Amino acid sequence: MAAAPGGSAPPAGPGPRLGFSTADSGVGMSGLNPGPAVPMKDHDAIKLFVGQIPRGLDEQDLKPLFEEFGRIYELTVLKDRLTGLHKGCAFLTYCARDSALKAQSALHEQKTLPGMNRPIQVKPAASEGRGEDRKLFVGMLGKQQGEEDVRRLFQPFGHIEECTVLRSPDGTSKGCAFVKFGSQGEAQAAIQSLHGSRTMAGASSSLVVKLADTDRERALRRMQQMAGQLGAFHPAPLPLGACGAYTTAILQHQAALLAAAQGPGLGPVAAVAAQMQHVAAFSLVAAPLLPAAASSPPGGGPGSLPGLPAPIGVNGFGPLTPQTNGQPGSDTLYNNGLSPYPAAYPSAYAPVSTAFPQQSSALPQQQREGPEGCNLFIYHLPQEFGDAELIQTFLPFGAVVSAKVFVDRATNQSKCFGFVSFDNPTSAQTAIQAMNGFQIGMKRLKVQLKRPKDANRPY
């Protein structure tokens, strides 16, 4: 019964909509009549992704905003499948393709919903095929073929929105082009008929007609190229320098942790030991660089390291012989990412969660904000830092509620910034003191309080 309230206007039914197919259908009467109980959608309708939605808004709240642009076929707020938590985004399909286009141009990056820092996102969902399903890459053209020739070739298949021959700086054709059709069907027809169908004058092989790369594919391709280049360089001396820098950072990191913890407890060492998982391989190679690194205090950052015990430096680079407590079996420190903290730290640094020492590790980590003053913005993170490393880095300063490194969706590469939230402001301040300015390679971490939500905004 939760579905479609019969009869009268008020749809008030707070029914557990599974996506709230906006069967708004104006008139109440649900299924029985042959009427349009469920609105039809165009065959070429576009499913839109809507991002930057305040977590407090559900489908009912959003509906009015989007209905301005046409009848909604379906609107679904994304929720975490386990927790049911609002993920801050939604899928939206209009009955008419045109409505989607209008909504996108009117709303995308144009309007910021209450409580959000950034403007709403309204764009074709990633699942919408390739997003650029109307755009073709054409290869194996003759060098002498220009836009007009290419147009003539593709004209029979539909409306050409765009036609570009790729050229070198000197103007000569690269023998390929992009052709964008008005619809996916037209593009597909062209592929069917033209791909491999003939060999153009001066081309070495038959005509290539395929969908153009998506952004993601382009990004991946670039990444592969870069990886290839790195591979080629690998035997060269360059990497050692890089390792040295990174090693330096880790060493300084140790110092920072030590200083912050204000004590020789095994906590910091344990945390660093965990870090070492990631650099053990480098460490061996870079070992000779260590003493220098150890003797130079991290400028601007955590300040001096009064008594950085020599054993620590040495210890760090004998990855399998941590000296934390002299126990031979202490390599267990390496395998339980988050656990060392509660037991090992002085109470001042182990605020709350001591009662459940081992539990923090497995939580789904839905990103959350802590209270005001507890949320840090961190910039200049090492490229290789992920959420886990971020947690490790800040765990020594208190209970980390969440840690998130931003990642480029297309490449999966870190954007080198992220957030860490503690459950109390003191931990956040301690972390800032210890880690802001902390040098890694040529860069220094920037660690500061996250901007409050309403900053940057008139009212």
Partner DNA sequence: TCGTATT
Positions that interact with DNA (CB under 7 A): 19, 47, 49, 51-53, 76, 78, 81, 87-89, 91, 117-118, 121, 123, 125-127, 367-370, 375-377, 379, 402-404, 406-407, 409, 415, 417, 419-421, 446, 448, 450-451, 453
**Residue with smaller CB distance to DNA, 39 or 313:** 39
Structure-token match 């009064």, residue found:
306
Q: How far is the CB of 104 from DNA (least distance, A)?
A: 12
* Per-residue H/E/C for 279-306: HHHHHHHHHHHHHHHHHCCCCCCCCCCC
Minimum CB–partner distance for residue 395 and DNA (Å): 15
First to last CA, the chain: 43
Angle at CA of residue 300, ends 296 and 304, nearest 5°? 50
Min CB(431)–DNA separation in Å: 12
Toward DNA, which CB reaches closer, 333 or 399? 399
**Cα separation of 397 and 430, whole Å?**
6
Whether residue 437 contacts residue 301, with contact meaning beta carbons closer than 8 Å, is answered with: yes
- Least distance (Å) between residue 15 CB and DNA: 18
Nearer to DNA among residue 50 and residue 286 (C-beta) = 50
Residue 316 or 418 having the CB closest to DNA: 418
Q: Shortest distance, CB of residue 57 to DNA, whole angstroms?
A: 12
Provide, rounded to whole angstroms, the least separation between the CB of residue 11 and DNA. 21
Closer to DNA by CB, 361 or 448: give it. Answer: 448
- Which two structure tokens, joined as six digits, stand for 187? 């593009």
Between 167 and 446, whose beta carbon lies closer to DNA?
446
Question: What contacts 138, CB < 8 A, 6 or more positions away?
Answer: 150, 154, 176, 177, 178, 179, 207, 208, 209
- What are the phi and psi torsion angles at 374 (to 5°)? -110, -5
Q: How do 135-139 and 121-124 pair as beta strands?
A: unpaired
For residues 206 and 365, which CB has a smaller minimum distance to DNA in the complex?
365
CB of 198 to DNA, least distance (A): 38
Q: Are 117 and 88 in contact (CB under 8 A)?
A: no
Measured between alpha carbons, how far is 113 from 106 in angstroms, rounded to an integer? 14
